[in-house]
Amino acid sequence: MIGFMTTATTGIMAADEVVGIARDLIRIDTSNYGPGGDGPGERVAAEYVAGLLDEVGIASTTVESESRRANVIAPWEPEGCDKSLPPLLIHGHLDVVPAQASDWSVDPFSGEIRDGAVWGRGAVDMKDFDAMLLAVVRQRVRENRPPRRPIRLVFTADEESGGRQGAVWLVRNHPDLVADCTEAVGEVGGFSLTVGDQRLYLIQTAEKGLAWLRLIADGMAGHGSMRNADNAVTELAEAVAMLGRYEWPYQIHEAQQGFLDAVGEMLGVKIGPGSVEETLARLGSISRMVGATMSHTVNPSMLEAGYKVNVIPGQATAGADGRFIPGRRDEFIAQVEEIVGPKVRVEITHEQTGVEAPFGTDLVEAMRRSLAAEDPGARIAPYLLSAGTDAKAWSELGMNCYGFVPLRLPADLDFVGMFHGVDERVPVDSLEFGCRVLDRFLDLA
């Protein structure tokens, strides 16, 4: 048997269940097409999760923010856990980004097992952790092994579109279900990065803030055949080009510095401003993610202007995805306004704050010990995530939020490329490893 050591009375093990649960979840299409999109929603997946919990006697509550947009909340406070401690929130989202089947080597909603991995949309983001969490909790209940402290299990909708039908909605409408939690654990962290011949496990302790921007240029409408010194399209195009090509100066966050220090020590080099990019390139595909956390970033992504070729429009607009270093939001917005110039207005259409949590905590030490028990010699380091997760919502309630989905990964796997990518997959060995680590973590957290 692969997985945990067992006795005759242990019964079904988490490592026996995790692959089946992951495949089941992948086969439930929960594609999130964004606001106004007519996706299938998360209701079927939520009912599946609630059923797995109910089978082992864990009662849950399912609440919908809109029809089919379902969230599952399950308090797990068995006899034997220390109820004097505040509950730990452990969360995963049930939705996935859409997948174009023609681009894939397999049906993205098949949960196919190939080359020792589970393939499908959500295999990495993040039905793998949903499956690991469910499998470990079910095993512990069957074996009457309580966690050290009370746990709130939460499975959310809509994370892939900012959580407005999921975690954000829960915080606004049902804060009582989780407000007694002081710490939260979810994505994106806990996975291994091979540096030289060593493994470094990245613990997400911070996330960049998000500001989706609308750039607006007003000008003089007129006939396309005439001269026009106040052309909105021209003004906008120049502003978008300047913003897209702007080289933001490095602003190293504490979590990013911790990551760079760990990598430098493992490679035996001193990473300074002049060698950062060269060093990051040695790390492979993850350089795309951690490189984006060296500074603020803005990526223009949408353009709209005019309705006929020979009519100069009076207004032109653009959309841009802005991400700012935690704690530096105001300077970021001011710099964007300076870059685009006085003839282009900047509006924030959607904003989420940056997230920061301390690295030197008992909870992080529990993560380190859990990983070290299964992978002796492994190191951990904090890092700053360039994207966003449901942690942004939970942090509004004062929680310290961490990304910890423990996965020991092959050195040659383009893991970062699996997020929202084609042929998303997670190794079976990694899922089983994650179950063992998560099981230890619940004894220590």
Specify the pLDDT at position 6: 34
Min mean pLDDT across 2-6, 244-248, 265-269, 292-296 is at: 2-6
What secondary structure letter does DSSP report for 198?
Answer: E
**C-alpha span between 58 and 50 (Å, rounded):** 9
The predicted pLDDT at position 275 comes to 77
Does 211-245+298-352 match 14-194+383-444 at the fold level? no
Which helix (H) or strand (E) is 277 found in, with range?
Answer: helix 276-281
- Asked if residue 309 has pLDDT above 90, the reply is yes
pLDDT category at 335 given cuts 50, 70, 90 is very high
Identify the architecture of domain 14-194+383-444 in CATH. Answer: 3-Layer(aba) Sandwich (3.40)
Range of weakest confidence among 5-9, 345-349, 402-406: 5-9
Task: State residue 8's pLDDT score.
Answer: 33
Q: Is 67 helix (H, G, I), strand (E, B) or coil?
A: coil
pLDDT at residue 383 is higher than 90: yes
> Cα–chain-centroid distance for residue 257?
20
| Beta-strand relationship, 183-186 and 192-195 | unpaired
| Cβ proximity of 208 and 188 under 8 Å | no
Query: Residue 11's pLDDT is what?
Result: 63
For residue 278, which amino acid is it? Answer: E
CATH code of the region 211-245+298-352: 3.30.70.360
What is the DSSP secondary-structure string of 361-393? SHHHHHHHHHHHHHSTT-EEEEEEESS--THHH
Percent of the chain at pLDDT > 90 equals 86
Q: In this prediction, what percent of the chain has a pLDDT beyond 70?
A: 98
State the pLDDT at residue 326: 96
Give domain limits for the chain: 14-194+383-444, 211-245+298-352
Closest by CA position to 381, among listed 401, 369, 366, 364: 364
Helix, strand and coil in the chain, % to nearest 5:
35, 25, 40
pLDDT at 301 over 90: yes
Using DSSP, state whether 421 is helix, strand or coil.
coil
pLDDT, mean of residues 197-201: 93
* 253 pLDDT more than 80: yes
Whether 2 shows a pLDDT value over 60: the answer reads: no
Beta strands 88-93; 113-114: pairing state: unpaired
Q: And the tokens for 87?
A: 């509950």
Average pLDDT over every residue of 403-424 = 93
Residue 33, pLDDT > 70, answer: yes
pLDDT of residue 28 exceeding 80, the answer is yes
What kind and span of H or E run contains 118?
strand 117-119
pLDDT > 60? residue 248? yes
In tens, the pLDDT along 121-164 reads 999 999 999 999 999 999 999 999 999 999 999 999 999 998 99
Q: If you search the block for the tokens 């979840």, which residue do you land on?
A: 25
Residue 336 CA neighbour count, 13 Å, CB half: 29
> What is the tens place of the pLDDT at every residue in 36-84?
888 999 999 999 999 999 999 999 999 999 999 999 999 999 999 999 9
- Among all chains, which residue has been given the structure tokens 């439930």? 28
**Cβ distance 231 to 222 under 8 Å?**
no
**Distance (Å, whole) CA 196 – CA 199:** 8
Flag whether pLDDT at 413 surpasses 50: yes
Are residues 87 and 151 in contact, defined by beta-carbon separation less than 8 angstroms?
Answer: yes
- The answer to whether the CB of 416 falls within 8 A of the CB of 285 is yes
